[in-house]
Amino acid sequence: MFDDLPPDLDRLRTLRTWHVLWVQRIDAKIHALLRRQAEAEHGRRHRPPAPDWVVEVGIGTGRPPIQLHAGDCYMLGSRRRPVDRDEARRLLTGGLRACSHCRPDNRLEVLDLSRPMFLRADRTSVPCRPISSSLGAAW
């Protein structure tokens, strides 16, 4: 028989104590990892949905709104607050700047009223562009 254990009782008890301590450490690590996995799964299941519209806010007093983004915009800053569709439309019509990357004004169908529009045959609005002439731009 292959026996590499010490022959005396004191050393065997020391080895047993040492192994019990290691098994306790291993069990504690297993339980911590299981708890962490359960918390992560709970977080995934109960995560609130991403907002549809987000306002990027400034750093001054009252944190004034700076720009409106779609909820999935990659250019979103770290200072932000979610808004619903009605507030997003109200902010845009009130003069808040729309993000030029995600174009929330197009998604919300808010027309740019500063430029004249004409209706195409397929009933979609298109901005008019000035016609160049020798006398300058004319509408």
What's the confidence (pLDDT) of residue 23?
98
What's the confidence (pLDDT) of residue 25?
98
Per DSSP, the three-state class of 23 is helix
Contact 55, 65 (CB under 8 A): yes
Kindly write down the DSSP assignment for every residue of 100-137, as one continuous string: TTT-HHHHTT---TTS-EEE-TTS-EEE--PBP-TT--
The amino acid sitting at 81 is: R
Distance of CA 77 to the CA centre of its chain: 10
Rounded to whole angstroms, how far apart are CA atoms 92 and 96?
Answer: 5
What's the confidence (pLDDT) of residue 116?
47
**For every one of its 139 residues, what pLDDT tens digit does the chain have, with 9 covering 90 and above?**
578 899 999 999 999 999 999 999 999 999 999 999 999 999 999 998 889 999 999 887 888 889 999 999 999 888 999 999 999 999 998 889 999 999 998 888 887 645 444 445 555 555 555 545 455 544 4
The pTM for the full model equals: 0.53
Kindly write down the DSSP assignment for every residue of 46-99, as one continuous string: TPPPPPSEEEEE-SSTT--EEEEEETT-TT--SSEEEE-HHHHHHHHHTTPEEP
